Chain A
């Protein structure tokens, strides 16, 4: 019985910690060093092709194949907000995610692949 209560205490601790976690990301929270970074793969057609494939695999399921989001929790990625962000802002946000808002962290992707996604996001802005 003591063991059960310890397991439940651990569960409660986790819920408490996550409930008190940070709020969603904004570009003004991006560190200056990351904000200033440029995409080393910009203008590389093969990188763009790879970025489109990664988008299809991991992003389209929430943001839609057309990147228009759902009009609710999942924002459109063809937007002024994305257009006005720097490459560094976008790469930083992909790495961080917004866990409370439902966006996973993509830090597990190799950095080159995050830049490929940034290249793709740039390509769909009009």
Chain B
């Protein structure tokens, strides 16, 4: 029953944009980049709430096909601080559909002016289980073997983790280049794990035009991400790495659809992972005009 429910959610996340295209009263150009793993310098506009779903669909060798869904509530607390709550779950064929935990992240612009490279500090607390398959980051020696384990076993493993990211991002001639350096720590006496994500993207059209399926509404790019091992074995040995083209489509009604097929680059990586995202932004959530600070 749960598997059916999740598959309905996944299908709805694909269908909803098309419904909005037909019914939305106006057009909007969301600014977020179409990345799934990499963060850019973009923060949520002050007072705005963005609700986004990100799915990851894959099949590890020797394991069952799965679909993981992360629902994000992202709020622009100020122009330099964005806070975000993630609710994660997954469904694995012939196993189960289960919630896998919550995450709370905060992103802070370190410098108040625009520079060639703009640093953002990312701080996250995770309360998740070992069954998490959202792959919102790849660190340490994360690999396909972790994704092949049975839900009945992995859900018993509870993890309290802290994660720090240094986000460096540049907007140059309508291109965005972003680099993330990730350090994650299981707070239960586990070693620090490290990872990276880098990405570049550009809108296909740069002037604003009132249209739905046109170059101005499409952003394309690619991201590369993977693990660097951990403090006990800081190396690329037995680590996963992926390259993933990304495409984002800005839809009417302050919404955005994103898609990315990811391809594993090492033996530890999944061969392929498909990602679909859908986001809707609610302007000035719970604020009166002029309160945005």
Please give the residue numbers on chain A whose beta carbons come within 8 Å of chain B beta carbons, in ascending order: 1, 3-4, 6-7, 10-11, 13-15, 17-18, 21-22, 41, 46-47, 49-51, 53-54, 56-58, 61-62, 64, 69-74, 95-113, 116
Cβ A58 vs Cβ B206 within 8 A: no
Within 8 Å of chain A (Cβ to Cβ): is B43? Answer: yes
For B176, B210, B289, the residue with the greatest tally of chain A CB atoms inside 10 Å of its CB is B289
Q: A10-B164, A50-B207 are in contact. Are A64 and B289 (CB under 8 A)?
A: yes
Cβ A3 vs Cβ B293 within 8 A: no
Q: A10-B123, A14-B123 are in contact. Are A57 and B28 (CB under 8 A)?
A: yes
In the bound assembly, the distance between CA atoms of A11 and B110 in angstroms comes to: 11
B77 to chain A, nearest CB (A): 11
In the bound assembly, the distance between CA atoms of A101 and B292 in angstroms comes to: 9
In the bound assembly, the distance between CA atoms of A25 and B208 in angstroms comes to: 26
Residue in B closest to A71 when the chains form the complex, CB atoms: B290
Which residues of chain B are near A13, meaning CB under 8 Å?
121
B230 to chain A, nearest CB (A): 13
Which residues of chain A are near B76, meaning CB under 8 Å?
104
Q: A4-B187, A6-B185 are in contact. Are A61 and B283 (CB under 8 A)?
A: yes
Q: Please name 17 pairs of A and B residues whose Cβ atoms are closer than 8 Å in the assembled complex, sorted by A.
A: A3-B162, A3-B187, A6-B185, A7-B123, A14-B108, A14-B110, A17-B111, A18-B80, A18-B112, A21-B112, A22-B112, A53-B208, A54-B208, A102-B292, A112-B208, A113-B208, A116-B207
Q: A6-B162, A6-B185, A62-B289 are in contact. Are A53 and B27 (CB under 8 A)?
A: yes
Q: A11-B106, A54-B208 are in contact. Are A100 and B292 (CB under 8 A)?
A: no
Q: A18-B108, A51-B208, A99-B80 are in contact. Are A108 and B187 (CB under 8 A)?
A: no
Within 8 Å of chain A (Cβ to Cβ): is B158? Answer: no
For B28, B42, B45, B113, the residue with the greatest tally of chain A CB atoms inside 10 Å of its CB is B113
Cβ A54 vs Cβ B29 within 8 A: yes
Which residues of chain B are near A58, meaning CB under 8 Å?
29, 45
Cβ A62 vs Cβ B79 within 8 A: no
For B27, B47, B173, B292, the residue with the greatest tally of chain A CB atoms inside 10 Å of its CB is B292
Residue in B closest to A1 when the chains form the complex, CB atoms: B187
Cβ A107 vs Cβ B114 within 8 A: yes
Which residues of chain A are near B207, meaning CB under 8 Å?
41, 46-47, 50, 110, 112-113, 116
Residue in A closest to B287 when the chains form the complex, CB atoms: A61
B125's partner among A7, A99, A102 (CB-CB below 8 A) is A7
In the bound assembly, the distance between CA atoms of A15 and B36 in angstroms comes to: 27
Cβ A4 vs Cβ B162 within 8 A: yes
Cβ A107 vs Cβ B171 within 8 A: yes
